[in-house]
Amino acid sequence: MAIHLVVWRLFPARRHGLGLVIILVLLPFLAYALVFTAAGVLHSALSGLMPVEWGLAYLLHLSLSGPYLFVYTALVGFSPSMGILEKVDASMPRGLERHDLAPKWFTDANLSGARLENMLASGLVLESQNCLQLSSRGRVIARCFLVFRRFLGLEDVAKG
């Protein structure tokens, strides 16, 4: 995660998903492979570690990195809930009356603009003749989330 933060500060990424997969999945795998290979060549103290132990360490790393990969988009995008919390927090200690919560930031640009641009950039959604369409990858992801929502007994918001 520290490497992710440094890389993102120095080189802001446009394709967050691909960058995160490289940083959190591919680079650790290459590091494990390099250390394991070097340990075999150098006959160091690490050479006594079995490939299974390295595999389990990598599996632990993936189990910790996986949720971060999935939550990251929620952290970088606009969240109406976070907007409400920040607005109420800014009015503390007095508080904020409900009618003063005028959601001036609940615009199309804030609610869907950044998310749509991100999905277009990552190829999940395609735009043709002012019409949005799911790519094959976008369709797979949408169906997975729909199945998961139904599994949890949640309402099908988009009625799809």
pTM for the structure as a whole: 0.43
The reply to whether 84 falls in a domain is no
Q: Based on the domain organization, do 70 and 15 belong to the same domain?
A: yes
The reply to whether 98 falls in a domain is no
Among candidate residues 76, 97, 128, the one where a domain is terminated = 76
The letter for the amino acid at 135 is S
As for how many domains the chain has, the answer is 2
The letter for the amino acid at 139 is R
The letter for the amino acid at 114 is A
Asked if 58 and 65 count as a contact pair (C-beta separation under 8 A), the reply is no
Among candidate residues 44, 76, 108, the one where a domain is terminated = 76
- Predicted confidence at residue 97, as pLDDT, reads 79
- Predicted confidence at residue 102, as pLDDT, reads 64
Q: Based on the domain organization, do 20 and 72 belong to the same domain?
A: yes
- Predicted confidence at residue 122, as pLDDT, reads 82
Q: Return the closest-CA partner of residue 75 out of 138, 23, 135, 118.
A: 118
Q: Based on the domain organization, do 12 and 70 belong to the same domain?
A: yes
The letter for the amino acid at 121 is A
Domain that includes residue 140, residue range: 117-160
Q: Quick count: other Cβ atoms within 10 Å of Cβ 1? A: 10
Q: Based on the domain organization, do 11 and 71 belong to the same domain?
A: yes
Q: Based on the domain organization, do 11 and 72 belong to the same domain?
A: yes
Q: Based on the domain organization, do 63 and 128 belong to the same domain?
A: no
- Predicted confidence at residue 23, as pLDDT, reads 80
The reply to whether 125 falls in a domain is yes
The reply to whether 85 falls in a domain is no
Give dist(CA 79, CA 138) in Å, integer.
21
The reply to whether 8 falls in a domain is yes
- Predicted confidence at residue 144, as pLDDT, reads 84
Q: What is the pLDDT along the chain (160 residues), one digit of tens a residue?
A: 677 677 767 776 666 677 778 888 888 888 877 876 776 655 555 555 566 777 788 888 888 888 877 777 556 666 677 777 777 788 888 887 777 776 666 677 766 777 788 788 888 889 888 888 889 888 888 888 888 778 777 776 666 5
- Predicted confidence at residue 49, as pLDDT, reads 59
Backbone angles phi, psi at 95, to 5 degrees: 100, 180
Q: Based on the domain organization, do 71 and 121 belong to the same domain?
A: no
